[in-house]
Chains A and B, each alone.
Chain A
Amino acid sequence: MNDLVDVPAATTGQPLVGESVQPDTTSVPIKPVLRVNGLKKAYRKHTLSVPVLHGVNLNVDPGEFVSIVGQSGSGKSTLLHLIGLLDANDSGSIEFEGRRIDNLPTSQRDKIRNEAFGFVFQFYHLLPELTALENVLLPLMIGKGPFGWLVSRGRAVTRAKELLERVGLGHRIDHKPRELSGGEMQRTALARALITKPRLLLADEPTGNLDDESGADVIRLLRTLNREEGLTILMVTHNLEITKDTDRLVRLSKGLVVDEELHPAA
């Protein structure tokens, strides 16, 4: 099951998203895979401006499992949304695999979100009308046109079933989200995030709505994926307990990185 997640493209010299990417002549893995420089963001409402991020600097190495903690309102979600290209930053830059991505046109941003990033949210965010299997397949359906989808459907379904098996839901593939528990929904969401073999997993409080045990399940899964398959993970959390399992802890306060803490033991 080692091939469930792509080895980060940069480490093998594979092209990045699509084919239109800079030629990478070096076989040295790009370090860091994610580089955030002086990122600023303020929410504006009429004339009132609410500054949230004041210039965040952050590097993530390939295969690293980084957790971000901070008080409520410190801008953790905002940071994750900016990195995930769900929102636009005011200044600063975001580089992914050595290429600046925050100023790309919409269609390319859509494509990066679809192919290179995986998202896991606090509230699972599954589509209620679709079954677990269909939810997991959704990113592939979005990425491919109707024709491409029909051609690759068989393989995609097999892979989605494998992933659901892996997160322990092999027997629940035809269930709608409302028929699943919170932990099961979150594991389905995780399978959905992994279906496109993302090169960076962005998780916003993935255990925030789960009891300790199901939360620990999810974290164990993430840890395994990170260890065995080198998946790069950036996770926001409130729970200091689970950060012990991660490689590095980044503390955010009032829109700035105030402290970094390595966990060599982890």
Chain B
Amino acid sequence: MYKVLLCLRYLQTRWLAMICIVSVMLGVATLIVVNSVMNGFSTKLRDRLHGLLSDIVIEAYDYDGFLDPKAKMARIMADPYLAKNIESMAPTLEIFAMLQYAYHDVPFTRSIRLIGIDPKSRAEVGGFSEFLTQPDRKAKPSFDLSPDAKARQAKNHVMDRKPTYFQELPTDPAAPPPPEPPPSKPHEPHGLIIGHAIAHFRDRTAGSEGQVKDIRALEPGDDVIITTVSGQKLSPVVDRFAVADYFRSEMSEYDSMYVFVPIDHLQKLRTMEDRVTSILVRLKNFDEAPGVVARLKTVLKNEPVEVQTWEQKQGALLAAIRVEKGILNILLFMIIGVAGFGILAIFTMIVAEKTRDIGILKALGASRFGVMQIFLGYGLLLGLVGCLLGTAMGLAITHNINEIESFIGGLTGQELFPRDIYYFDKIPTDVHPMGVLFVNIGAVLIAVAFSLLPAFRAASLNPVRALRYE
């Protein structure tokens, strides 16, 4: 009992102990905040990737693709297990391409990934229609131009019509009437959906308050020229499209690369009718993915395709995130290690200061182990209090991280979280209760471990030496 009493009294009366508590607290708070933000980023990134990639991808080995996706999908749905687990499928045709457009008469060229889809089936797989920017297109995705876009398209091509000055030329009445020009219907380009970052410039000078303004380079209805290669011959093919909508997933890699066009038109353009490069599969429950992948592999055994979950497809990126998080955690635990050395130093001081008390306790019959327990208990108490405060502080900071970021940003004039890099408009956070618990346990263990040595020294003090003089 005296152990608890003394622990508490030492805690109340030693301001040095407060330093230990503060150092543990700061370590724990930092770990919680950093982990929550890292988790937030990786969860959000995973969500985005998962959404964009669908659950499982059946992919051809090369750009040549494979034939007759309908038959393959029918074969897949014939399997009862697969039929039970698969929610929907979408064939896509993917190819690298070059995109050109003129902005204020200056030509711009970008390399892109051209993706041919059927908007309806692609929307069912997910990760597509919710990223479109026009509200009615979100509900019913299509490549059709809106009336406004059509008007702009028509205005842009007013010169394509038959020039009016032809009529104004004086005509020779004697001459035979000129032959009627062939009835020309202006070429109606197909609509396309273009990645937001391809169609916009970022104006960094505009942001005085750290905001970035997007300048639109391509309005709906504007023309773009796409150059890609045809099927086996790989000869260049060109077509003109009109912008129908933008694709804004807030994943800069996708928003700056992806351009969607109707799959049947792309097949025609590339002279590879009825061929696709992949089939996206959405499951009813992603937990079933391993089983479904295995079954798909047997069903499509002799086809030139590869079956992968989205995680396998993005393996390198996800592994990099994991490694990064692991290393960061090791580094951060070193912070608590430093706090541990603080405890060691301060405890050694307290033991030296308490030499006489330890002698008294022993003279009154306290055992070695009892004396040791006082200081171990003291370390435990410091660790616990530090953890408690640190957890509270960490959670509070995590909760208000965006306010804190903008406050510090306003104070220093330096944007801490450049939104144009990450595309997230807020710093994402995700608190894992198990992670918080793990940090706490680790910190308490470190506090106790570093109080072991001073506690042991206290326990082995010779009481006579402590008692002899004042």
Contacts and interface: CB of A to CB of B under 8 A. Distances in A.
Interface of A: 77, 81, 84, 86-87, 106-107, 110-115, 119, 121, 123, 125-130, 134, 138-139, 141-146, 149-150, 192
A142 B365 contact: yes
B463 interface: yes
Given A125-B360, A127-B357, A138-B2, A143 B365 contact: yes
Contacts of B362: 86, 110, 113
B363 interface: yes
Given A129-B6, A149-B1, A110 B464 contact: no
A121 B1 contact: no
Given A125-B356, A125-B467, A130-B9, A114 B4 contact: no
* Pairs A-B, 4 closest by C-beta atoms: A114-B365, A129-B9, A141-B2, A149-B1
Nearest to B369: A107
Contact of A107 (B12, B361, B367): B367
A131 to B, nearest CB: 10
B6 A139 contact: no
Contact of A111 (B6, B9, B365): B365
Nearest to A153: B1
Contacts of A86: 362-363, 463-464, 467
Given A139-B364, A142-B361, A134 B5 contact: yes
B368 A113 contact: no
Contacts of A106: 367-368
Contacts of A126: 360
Contacts of A107: 367
Nearest to A81: B464
Interface string B458-470: 0000111001111
Given A141-B1, A141-B2, A110 B467 contact: no
Contact of B366 (A110, A134, A146, A149): A110
B157 to A, nearest CB: 91
Dominant secondary structure of chain B at its interface with chain A: helix
A129 B13 contact: yes
B367 A138 contact: no
15 contacts: A86-B464, A86-B467, A106-B367, A110-B367, A113-B364, A113-B365, A114-B365, A119-B363, A119-B364, A125-B360, A128-B357, A129-B6, A139-B364, A141-B1, A150-B1
Contacts of B366: 110, 114, 142
Contacts of A128: 357
Q: Which of B4, B364, B463: most chain A Cβ within 10 A?
A: B364
A130 B363 CA distance: 17
A128 B360 CA distance: 11
Contacts of A123: 469-470
Interface in B348-364: 356-357, 359-364
B417 interface: no
Contacts of B13: 129
B119 interface: no
B10 interface: yes
Contacts of B12: 129
A127 B311 CA distance: 64
Contacts of B365: 110-115, 139, 142-143
A145 B370 CA distance: 10
A144 B370 CA distance: 12
Contacts of B9: 129-130
Q: Which of A115, A123, A127, A192: most chain B Cβ within 10 A?
A: A127
B118 to A, nearest CB: 74
B169 to A, nearest CB: 112
Contacts of B470: 123
A107 to B, nearest CB: 6
A115 B367 CA distance: 13
Q: Which of A111, A142, A146: most chain B Cβ within 10 A?
A: A142
A106 B363 CA distance: 12
Contacts of A111: 365
A138 B363 CA distance: 11
Contacts of B356: 125
